[in-house]
Amino acid sequence: MRGGWVLRRVAMALPLAVGIVLVSFILLRVMPGDPVDIMLRGGGTSSEEEARALARQLGLDQPLPVQLARFVADLARGDLGESIRSRQPVGQMLRATLPATVELALAALVFAVAVGVALGVLAATRRGSWLDRAVMAVASLGVSMPAFWFGIVLMLVLAVGTGWLPTSGRIASQYAGTVPWRTGFLLIDTLLAGNGAAFRSAVAHLVLPAVTLGAELAAVVARVTRSSMLEVLGAEFIRTARAKGLHERRVILVHALRNALIPTASVVGLQAGVLLGGNMIVETVFSWPGLGRLVVEAIFARDYPVVQGAVMVYALTFLVMNLLVDLAYTWLDPRIREA
């Protein structure tokens, strides 16, 4: 039953993925701006002939249906093409930047869930108290603060002001060249290299961007968790659990929290995709060389192959995240398995 259900979800996802690829291809080409013109604008002495030669080499002088057919054929062979500007293979560019983005998104997710759930539970169990009001005020602030401003403020306070944390980048400069690239996740690569100091440096560099990226989600999680905890705490089965003489901590953390996390899981699952796709500002502020920064810059340069490849990565990520959310649902609430 579970296997069949999963297969049906995957089957639904495939046409969606195909649609996203086609739509993004068309939208990219409709966007004003000529990548060859943008590329040759930097020096200023090029001739029309040179521009035409470049367009021909890049295949941009072909009719759109021909370009699309070529794109699909290349895709079928796992070839994402080459960046118009830098000539690098797109697959290589994505492999180089995706681990950085995923690492940051996961760290932000861990921070957001840990802090958000803790604050939500705290607020719910002390409903109406000053602590409840303080948590909700902080949550409102978290939702409304722009990541750009928050990131720079954190940087100035915790890095420049106190010197506790580094301002930017993924690892301190002195470790450059000492950690071989294996997975692209520096937390893993530093451990594989057996370099404890480098690992601690990677962790330290991750703190500010992860907090900045995760702050808004933490606020959302706190509010959702608080309201669902309040709802659950008023339910009959909680009263029954208390009547059985269970310790209050166990009542809250085992019985109530597990049920309260169902809507939280939904929010987190949907937002996790946003963490992956919406981190461009944070990556720019903290000089984090991830996928978000890559794709924004590629859009402004009209570097079609890079944008196309990144869009596909994002689309697949969202689909996978939604699938995982549904799986999490079935674990949290067994009744859904019958659906």
Considering only the stretches 63-71, 111-119, 126-134, 309-317, report the one whose residues sit in contact with other proteins under the rule CB under 8 A.
Answer: 309-317
The nearer residue to other proteins, 94 or 233, going by C-beta atoms, is: 94
Q: Nearest distance from residue 42's CB to other proteins, in Å?
A: 4
286 binds other proteins (CB under 8 A): yes
Q: By the 8 A CB rule, do 169 and 285 touch?
A: no
Q: What are the tokens at 266?
A: 């939904």
Count of positions on this chain that bind other proteins (CB under 8 A): 74
Instruction: Please give the single-letter amino acid code of residue 73.
Output: A
Over the window 138 to 167, marking each residue x when it contacts other proteins by CB under 8 A and - when it does not, the resulting string is --------------x--xx--xx--x--xx
176 binds other proteins (CB under 8 A): yes
Instruction: Please give the single-letter amino acid code of residue 146.
Output: P
Q: Nearest distance from residue 220's CB to other proteins, in Å?
A: 17
Over the window 38 to 67, marking each residue x when it contacts other proteins by CB under 8 A and - when it does not, the resulting string is xxxxxxxxxxx-xx-xx--xx---------
Positions in 66-105 near other proteins (CB under 8 A): 85-89, 96-97, 100
Q: Among residues 1, 130, 173, 334, which is the contact residue for other proteins, using CB under 8 A? A: 173
- DSSP string of 140-205? HHHHHS-HHHHHHHHIIIIIIIT-SS--SSSS-GGGTTTS--SSS-HHHHHHHTT-HHHHHHHHHH
Give the integer Cα–Cα distance in Å for 311 and 306. 9
User: Which residue is listed with tokens 């079928």?
Assistant: 76
Q: What are the tokens at 269?
A: 């699952």
CB proximity list for 259: less than 8 A, separation 6 or greater? 228, 232, 235, 332, 333
Give the integer Cα–Cα distance in Å for 213 and 148. 10
The nearer residue to other proteins, 117 or 311, going by C-beta atoms, is: 311
The nearer residue to other proteins, 50 or 248, going by C-beta atoms, is: 50
The nearer residue to other proteins, 6 or 204, going by C-beta atoms, is: 204
122 binds other proteins (CB under 8 A): no
Positions in 208-267 near other proteins (CB under 8 A): none
Q: What are phi and psi of 319, to 5 degrees?
A: -65, -45
Q: Nearest distance from residue 118's CB to other proteins, in Å?
A: 28
Q: Nearest distance from residue 105's CB to other proteins, in Å?
A: 13
Instruction: Please give the single-letter amino acid code of residue 273.
Output: G
**Alpha carbon 250 to chain centroid, angstroms:** 33
Positions in 6-35 near other proteins (CB under 8 A): 20, 23-24, 27-28, 30-34
Q: By the 8 A CB rule, do 93 and 294 touch?
A: yes
Q: Nearest distance from residue 101's CB to other proteins, in Å?
A: 12
Q: Nearest distance from residue 107's CB to other proteins, in Å?
A: 17
Q: What are the tokens at 159?
A: 């890095």
